[in-house]
Structure 1
Amino acid sequence: MSPTRRGLLAAAALLPAPARAQAWPTRPVRLVVGFTPGSSTDVTARIFAQAFSQAWGQPVVVENIPGQGGAIGADRVAKSPPDGATLLWGANGALTIVPTLQPVGFDPLKDLAAIGRTLSMASVFLVANGSPFHSLGDVIAAARVRPGGLAYGTPGVGTPQHIAVEMLCRLAGIRMEHVPYRGANLADVMNGVLPLGVQNSGVAMPLAQEGRIRAIAVSSLQRSPAMPEIPTVAEQGFPGFEALSWFGLMAPAGTPRPILDKVHAEAMRVLADAEQRARFAQLGLDPAPSTGEEMQALIAADIQKWARVIAEAGIQAGR
């Protein structure tokens, strides 16, 4: 490091916290993503990282640390210095589902500081075009005739899609056989190999809109603006049913509040931008802005909500 740069950093350290936050960032920022490049989590993180870089005049570099449903990346951030140099683009599975299913090295409520939720994404219930199922009621009726004999596929054990279907099974009083995939299962659904598939709307929406697959329900409380013709699960006999995937920004616990506020303010500007909102809609995403406090409360509520489903369904990691 040059003497000039060392001097600037030393001078910045002597500034009061609000002034330091105004000057922050003075070096590149890591935005950790707990999934592989090209995933929905990664794609959305890069949109925000680019906007942050332009606004702050410093590179915001996405770092992919996949594994354990996103929990390995979250753990890395939780153990990073709370200086604003490392942020987390967190997905709800890693923060509210995985910690119940298996040991993780961090407490999402104590070791991470919530900055704010940003985006949400519904899951879509899908069948082949030639399927006899034209509604969620048809699926439930078939499952009641053959308890445990109807299979459904999701992107994997413990994913929001898996937990959503198991919550529906508890409410409907049915049993279905879970077939976990590593990622998308739409080819088997379209070919009729798999009776029912559940995927996030970003993956499902283009195929449904092209008429290559039949969407029979969405897991959001209200109909998706991108697919307004598809009824919600709630509309089909389960009032209040909601099971979303969502993304939010977090930092190591102890990160100065002025830095958290600066990140939050810029994230909200991204969500308010009309061009970005159109881009999110194309990806099957809905803006879901919140404060850090609201995100923290959501994490706590979702942990309890999904832990109950996991216990009642007997879900275990890897099974």
Structure 2
Amino acid sequence: MQRRTLMGAAGLASMLTASGRAWARAFPSRSLRLIVPFTPGGSADMVARSVATPLAALLGQSVAVDNRTGAGGAIGTHEVARAAPDGYTLGLSAVSTLATNPAFIPNTPYHPVNDFTPIINLVVIPLVLAVHPSFPARDFDSFLREVRRHPGRYSYATPGTGTLLHLLGELIELESRIFMVHIPYRGTAPALVDVKAGRVPIIFDALPGVMPHIQPGGRLIPLAVASPQRLAQLPQVPTFAEVGLPIANRGGFFGLIGPRGLPGEVVQRIHSDTVRVLADPALRQRLEDAGAPVVGSTPEQFAEQIRFEFDFYTRLVQRTGIRPD
């Protein structure tokens, strides 16, 4: 009797596995939703829409971009975590939503490592340290000397407390033994307005947002970038690794995630089609020109990157002692 029960259970498990595989092979049979937890028109939205249209063509189903904003990206990201793990709800993730926010805000309503299925890191987002022309330095070494001579005199702007750009500033202060005053804004746009006007002399910003203002003829002067290598758009600007701060040479990213428990066959289908999308030379050039070089990692590489970034920023928040306002 026990043997027949075991055989029946094994047969049922085999049938369920086969059924699941058949369902995954039929994926997708309807349209997909790509939740972007940031406002329309920004760099995250641009990356999502650049990928969604050609991805839909390969999948044979539409991919609707759905901007669900609020709480620094936590609202939209939480919606991804709560979605059914069937592949029809995906999310655009960022270092802020999967690392800095959960590290900085204890009650973030999801766990960045345990509550999602990483699919692919789409692009890296270089970060930039730039100054107003009135600041008495034109390179990073001179910048450090000036700030060290006058601790607390200079302030720097970021899109807000606890953001990736704020934590980059805190990290550079710690590692360089300097002290600046942090001025948080409600987003990049108002921060840029004040820095371009000279009301705040220093800014940490993501490349897509600051690019028009740091190119020749722009109002700001770039001193260093957080990027794996020098940028084609700014070949004269060194990376933080080149100026002696390799620990600060960490940019942002935008990647695709799904809810926890996404079937492996579905992950593979979305990943492989997205890799094909990112291989298009015209798309790669368009993203790079916008300040978002293509990565195209494996799911395993992306999962490891998320774990590393979350652990890194958790330790940094503990070191600095900064807390939400």
TM-score (norm 1): 0.91
Deviations 1:46-84 (A, max 9, x none): 111111211122111111111122121111111111111
Q: Tell whether the 8 Å contact from 1:17 to 1:258 is kept in structure 2 after alignment.
A: no
Q: Which residue of 1 aligns with 2:175?
A: 171
Task: Measure the CA separation in 2 of the matches of 1:142 and 1:128.
Answer: 14
The CA deviation at 1:266 is 1.3
Deviation at 1:145, TM superposition (A): 2.1
Q: Is 1:133 aligned to residue 137 of structure 2? A: yes
Between the aligned partners of 2:314 and 2:231, the Cα distance in structure 1 is 27
Is residue 290 of structure 1 aligned with residue 297 of structure 2? yes
Letter matched to residue 125 of structure 1: L
Name structure 1 gaps, 5 residues minimum.
1-12
CA contact (8 A) 2:223 2:237 kept: yes
Please give the alpha-carbon distance, in whole angstroms, between the structure 1 residues aligned to 2:140 and 2:259.
Answer: 42
| Residue aligning to 1:115 | 119
1:314 partnered with 2:321 = yes
> Contact (CA 8 Å) 1:113, 1:252: kept in 2 or not?
yes
Determine the structure 2 residue equivalent to 1:67: 70
Q: Does structure 2 retain, via aligned residues, the 8 Å contact 1:68–1:98?
A: no
Contact 1:221 1:240 in 2 (8 A): no
Aligned counterpart, 1:28: 31
State how far apart, in whole Å, the 2-side matches of 1:292 and 1:274 are: 22
Greater Cα offset, 160-169 or 143-152: 143-152
Q: Tell me the amino acid that sits aligned with residue 33 of structure 1.
A: V
Residue 251 of structure 1 is matched in structure 2 by: 258
Whether 2:242 is the aligned partner of 1:235: answer yes
Q: Which residue in the other structure is 1:202 paired with?
A: 208
Q: CA deviation at 1:190?
A: 2.1
Distance 1:22 1:49 in 2: 21
CA displacement 1:184-230 (0-9 Å, x = unmatched): 22222222211101111111222222422211111113211221111
Larger radius of gyration: 2
Mapped partners of 1:290, 1:14: distance in 2: 28
Deviations 1:118-143 (A, max 9, x none): 10111111112343121122222222
Counterparts of 2:279 and 2:55, CA distance in 1: 14
Distance 2:182 2:134 in 1: 21
Q: Is the 8 A contact 1:114 1:251 kept in 2?
A: yes
Match of 1:236, SS state, is coil
> Offset at 1:92?
1.3
Secondary structure at 1:234's aligned position in 2? coil
**Structure 1 residue 15, shift from structure 2 partner:** 6.9
Show the counterpart of 2:276: 269
1:32 alignment partner AA: I
Note if 1:46 corresponds to 2:49. yes
- Matching residue's letter, 1:144: R
* Aligned match of 1:186: 192
**1:98-129 Cα shifts (integer Å, max 9, x gaps):** 11111112112111111121101111111123
SS of aligned partner of 1:16: helix
In 2, Cα distance between the equivalents of 1:235 and 1:156? 27
Q: Is 1:159 aligned with 2:163?
A: yes
TM normalised by structure 2 equals 0.90
Deviation at 1:40, TM superposition (A): 0.9
Seen in structure 2, the aligned counterparts of structure 1 residues 228 and 19 have a Cα distance that, compared at 3 Å, is: farther
Contact 2:161-2:324 at 8 Å conserved across structures: yes
Q: SS in structure 2 opposite 1:286?
A: coil
The answer on 1:98 being equivalent to 2:105 is no
Deviation digits for residues 135-169 of structure 1 (CA, Å, limit 9, x no counterpart): 12222222222222210001111221111111111
Whole-angstrom CA distance in 2 between matches of 1:270 and 1:93:
25
Distance 2:18 2:318 in 1: 50
Counterpart AA for 1:110: N
- More off after superposition, 148-157 vs 133-142: 133-142
Aligned letter for 2:166? H
Unaligned 5+ residue runs, structure 2? 1-15
Whole-angstrom distance in 2 between the partners of 1:210 and 1:50: 33
Q: Match of 1:265, as an amino acid?
A: S
**Structure 1 residues 177 and 130 mapped into 2: Cα distance closer, same or farther (>3 Å)?**
closer
The equivalent residue for 1:214 is: 221
- Residue 5 of structure 1: aligned partner: none
Structure 1: distance between partners of 2:133 and 2:151 = 24
In structure 2, give the amino acid aligned to 1:27.
R
Query: Using the alignment, how far apart are the partners of 1:136 and 1:307 within structure 2?
Result: 27
* Residue 302 of structure 1: how far off its partner (Å): 0.9
* SS state at 1:115 partner: strand
Question: Are 2:59 and 2:273, in contact at CA under 8 Å, matched by a contact in 1?
Answer: no
- Aligned residue type for 1:23: A
